[in-house]
Amino acid sequence: MFTNDEINLMCIYNTGTREGLIAELTQMRGYLGSEETELLTLTDSALGKLRNMSDTEYAKLDLLPDFDVETE
């Protein structure tokens, strides 16, 4: 349902509740400039999915960051 990037973003702003996370992401989005298209798109995608799920579904999410970076 959520991409790895969306999960990582949600982990950064997670408050422990779906509504709290939506509020935090919405507030953060307000600080983004129009040139930050990738982060705007990522945030909008995560917000859309969060708004369309129930609190029960949210509670089942495993919000653990996966910051594994492939190195050469």
Q: Residue written as tokens 């507030």? A: 27
DSSP the chain: ---HHHHHHHHHH--SSHHHHHHHHHHHHTT--TT-HHHHHHHHHHHHHHHTS-HHHHHT------------
Q: What is the pLDDT of residues 23-55, one digit of tens each?
A: 999 999 999 999 999 999 999 999 999 999 999
* Greater model confidence, 51 or 70: 51
Average pLDDT, the chain: 92
pLDDT at 67 over 70: no
Specify the pTM. Answer: 0.86
Domain range annotation of the chain: 4-59
